[in-house]
Structure 1
């Protein structure tokens, strides 16, 4: 069947050749029976799963030997061509694996295996749920074989069904990498990269959790934690110079100057005052000072005295301080 005979040319181009081939000629389509299981001294597992997003369904057949190895597998798919291709590849990935290892196969593994090129998705984003269905039926089959509920293999809240990304993973990635945009979340986790329903309300499928809301809530938590930590450090005296407010910085500099440099300046009839403090883009903290009295115009004000002031402030407050007389 020619590509354009099935789907409009532009849309069809979003499918890989591997997908189109398995749509028309699936390798593992079929049924396994108890007679097949007895002939191979294996246990027959039959698992059904339906996808609420589109109404598709898949039935998975496994023959599992005494060592928990899947020695044969087949499937029947009730749905679109993408569901057939995804299920066919899912079965292929299961074959020869132990049940305990097969359950680790994800929908992303199925989708990647269907790609023609490593960096080009095999299906359009809105069809990623078909590979999710294949992933879920594996869990169902593994649960039947191991005597567990399928949900036992999924103890996380899934936010992005397409990429199987959990709520805890998204929250952790935002915190660890200090992410500030949904695009960054997608870049780090692939959440929202496919059908995009999990990004914000209004997509083709309603979700309980959306990336925009998770990002907002986590950023709010992070800011609140920073504020509490800054207040704690301020009270305990642990606040670093860079973490201080401008008023706190001026007070800290004045206190350090009062205790170290100013007495010596005043002995010679001089003094100094803080004019401004600025954080620079290259990580320095520039402190602008004005000399007063005998220090104003003194030859050492731009050399020895200046170096002494800068060294004292660097030692007591921050190594990146630069003192600039004006």
Structure 2
């Protein structure tokens, strides 16, 4: 039976030529025996994916003096994509130290299988096969180091395909005010492959989904905004306790009620530019407009009148500065 009959012609075209080649003729499939090990350390690690039933066995022959992986082979019990991914994974491990091999991600495996650097090597729903290749590296490294496999994963991964952690996703969503799954995928690649991490019902069940993170961050931002407004509203009624926005509104209201009517009667006006605090003094920066710009009293009588009115009304140490 032809491949196109097994997979479907259209879907088969989504596999790179490199993936197809390694499916048919993997270069590193096989075993490494104790007899071959000699003075080297032989590691045999098994890892299976519960979501699809595939499994892979990884063989490493390691020089214990340098921690360099001298030979790497595998056996795969699964689909053609799992075979191709495992073959590339085994190849990428060779001549690297165990610590360097740990840095190989499933994305590295998938990218190495591409014919074109901008075109994925496999369909999104098969990306989990390269994840399994990444996980068996962790298993082998943990066995060689004598540590628990979970100790090698410092972050809680939400999207296994793109290896994006929960903390990273939350930070990106918050900083960029993201509100849709499409935006998350654009920024992080999470959810762009098998899509299991987006919401319940996908290829693989998750404890936390992208929709959960969107809701959680949105709720946290809303709570922060409410808290900010409450703090601003409470204050203690003094100019010093107000936030900058409140200070600006307070000064603007006094200018509008007591200062501008007089200035406008003579063809002038005043604009509030900013409010700064320096050594306990609130500096109110203003700019004259209209006839006030050329008036000889704009830095004497008029300026003193504005400053006195603000001090009186706001009960605060204020200095008015013309910019």
Give TM-score, length-normalised by structure 2.
0.78
Question: Match for residue 17 of structure 2?
Answer: 17
Match of 1:43 in 2: 41
Any idea what SS the aligned residue of 1:100 has? helix
**Helix, strand or coil at the partner of 2:57:** strand
Matches for 1:298-317 after TM superposition, within 5 Å: 298=266, 300=267, 305-306=268-269, 309-310=270-271, 313-316=272-275
* Counterpart position of 2:33: 33
Contact 2:14/2:122 (<8 A) preserved: yes
CA shift at 1:257, angstroms? 4.4
1:240 corresponds to 2:231: no
Q: How far does residue 231 in structure 1 lie from its aligned partner after superposition?
A: 3.4
Native 8 Å contact 1:143 1:149 kept in 2: yes
What's the counterpart of residue 68 of structure 2?
Answer: 69
**Cross-structure match for 1:121:** 120
For 1:113 and 1:59, locate their aligned partners in 2 and report how far apart those are by CA, in whole Å. 20
Verify the 8 A CA contact 1:89 1:113 in the aligned structure 2: yes
Is the 2:58–2:140 contact (alpha carbons within 8 Å) kept by the matching residues of 1? Answer: yes
- Deviation track 1:258-289 (CA, whole Å, cap 9, x = no partner) reads 57x35xx5xxxx47xxxxxxxxxxxxxxxxxx
Tell me, yes or no, if the aligned pair for 2:45 and 2:57 is still in contact at 8 Å.
yes
Name the CA shift for 1:56/1:249 in 2 (closer, same or farther; >3 Å). Answer: same
Within 5 Å, give how 1:51-66 maps onto structure 2.
51-65=49-63, 66=65
User: Deviations along 1:39-60, whole A, 9 cap, x unmatched?
Assistant: xx21000000000110000000
* CA shift in 2, pair 1:238/1:100, >3 Å: farther
Q: Provide the C-alpha distance between the structure 2 equivalents of 1:128 and 1:6, rounded to a whole number of angstroms.
A: 19
Q: Give the Cα–Cα distance (whole angstroms) in 2 for the partners of residues 77 and 319 of structure 1.
A: 73
Aligned residues: 277
> Could you tell me whether the CA contact under 8 Å between 1:15 and 1:122 is conserved in 2?
yes
TM-fit CA distance, 1:184: 1.4
* Other-structure match for 2:143: 144
Q: Please give the residue correspondences for 1:273-288 in structure 2 after superposition, counting only pairs within 5 Å.
A: none
Change (3 A) 1:176 1:64: same
Please give the root-mean-square deviation of Cα atoms over the aligned residues, in Å.
Answer: 2.7
Shift of 1:212: 1.1
Partner residue of 1:198?
Answer: 197
Instruction: Say whether the 8 Å CA contact 2:69–2:96 is kept in structure 1.
Output: yes
> SS of 2:44's equivalent?
strand
Structure-2 change in CA distance of 1:240 and 1:36 (3 Å): same
Displacement, 1:240?
A: 2.8
Q: CA deviation at 1:319?
A: 8.4
1:216 shift after superposition:
1.1
Q: What secondary structure, in the 3-state scheme, does the structure 2 residue paired with 1:314 have? A: strand
Q: Distance in 2 between matches of 1:131 and 1:224?
A: 39
Deviation at residue 213 of structure 1 after TM alignment:
1.4
Any stretches of 5+ residues in structure 2 without a counterpart?
Answer: 277-283, 291-323
* Superposition map of 1:146-295 within 5 A: 146-234=145-233, 235=235, 237-241=241-245, 251-257=250-256, 261-262=259-260, 270=262, 295=265
1:286 alignment partner in structure 2: none
Distance 1:225 1:30, change over 3 A: same
C-alpha contact (below 8 Å) 2:248/2:275 kept by paired residues: no
Rounded to whole Å, the distance in 2 between the matches of 1:56 and 1:105 is 20
Which piece of structure 1 moves more, 196-205 or 222-231? 222-231
Distance 2:118 2:145 in 1: 36
CA distance in 2, matches of 1:73, 1:314: 68
TM-score, normalised to structure 1's length? 0.78
